[in-house]
């Protein structure tokens, strides 16, 4: 490694100390550290870098924060294929596996090149309106269509590879990756999917019909969702962080992305241990 990029959750009290530790450790190995602008200001460095400019310049990205921060950075990294190490400063931490206390030992492993990477599928979502693409998003977790607080049930005519799946009448619909299967999809009754199995999970939110259930489809499937509603507010969101309002007749197309997210794994944990810990499995 020659250059490492560091992002952090905005104004987190632990970010400054950990960022300085990272800078000092890599400096001893003549590895340059690029801090995003707000973090550079927080630690008193004169030179910072715009978030979107870092991935093209570095061999590794370190994220100090929670899963939400890491997901945001994953969209910045996009198709750069740069490994991302998540350091958990939050509470849940399905993706940010490494703790504060584990970070010094993890930095040693990174310098030695002695680490494993989990390759995670991402999704591309396009919003079609009157025959034109009016929005395109690449996501790590999920794409969600949902109604406003006072809106009525949405009718979502859904097809897979051009074949009719169902006209879901529900509060919304989630299309998630395996990585996102432990997020909003899980809360809506969807399955937990091992993260390196490439597939898409379609989960209705509070469906009007009790027979509507989540379904898992092939990784190369193309899902199209036409939304039908009147005089209501319906939103499209990507990873729960960005999005826009939808209009009646809009079609949301979701497919596997060429971009991948490469997550550096903690050497002291496996995926099932993380599930047991985060979901309190085995406890009464």
List residues with catalytic annotation: 67
DSSP-H helix ranges across the chain: 15-27, 37-43, 67-77, 103-112, 184-187, 271-278
* 8 Å CB contact between 126 and 235: no
* 8 Å CB contact between 125 and 238: yes
Residues 6+ apart with CB under 8 A from 150: 233
Cα separation of 148 and 237, whole Å? 12
What are the CA-CA distances from residue 252 to residues 175, 201, 213 (Å)? 11, 15, 20
- Coil, helix or strand for 201? strand
Other CB atoms within a 10 A radius of the CB of residue 16 amount to 16
* 8 Å CB contact between 125 and 237: no
């Amino acid at each position: 490694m020659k250059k490492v990029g560091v992002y952090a959750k905005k104004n987190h009290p632990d970010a400054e100390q950990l960022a300085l530790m990272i800078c000092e450790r890599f400096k001893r190995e003549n590895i340059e550290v690029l801090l995003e602008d707000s973090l550079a200001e927080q630690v008193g460095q004169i030179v910072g870098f715009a978030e979107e400019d870092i991935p093209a310049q570095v061999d590794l990205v370190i994220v100090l924060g929670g899963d939400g921060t890491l997901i945001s950075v994953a969209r910045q990294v996009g198709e750069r294929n740069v490994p991302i190490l998540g350091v958990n400063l939050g509470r849940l931490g399905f993706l940010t596996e490494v703790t504060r206390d584990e970070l010094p030992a993890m930095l040693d492993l990174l310098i030695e090149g002695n680490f494993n990477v989990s390759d995670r599928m991402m999704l591309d979502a396009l919003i079609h309106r009157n025959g034109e693409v009016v929005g395109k998003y690449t996501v790590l977790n999920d794409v969600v269509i949902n109604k406003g607080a006072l809106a009525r049930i949405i009718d979502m005519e859904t097809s897979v590879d051009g074949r009719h799946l169902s006209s879901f009448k529900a509060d919304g619909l989630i299309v998630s990756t395996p990585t996102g299967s432990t997020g909003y999809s899980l809360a809506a009754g969807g399955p937990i999917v091992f993260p390196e199995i490439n597939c898409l999970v379609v989960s209705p939110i509070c469906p009007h019909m009790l027979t509507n259930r989540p379904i898992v489809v092939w990784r190369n499937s193309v899902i199209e969702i036409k939304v039908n509603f009147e005089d209501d507010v319906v939103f499209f969101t990507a990873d729960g962080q960005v999005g826009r309002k939808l209009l009646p007749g809009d079609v949301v197309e979701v497919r596997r992305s060429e971009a991948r997210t490469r997550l550096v794994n903690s050497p002291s944990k496996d995926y099932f241990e993380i599930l047991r810990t985060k979901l309190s499995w085995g406890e009464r």
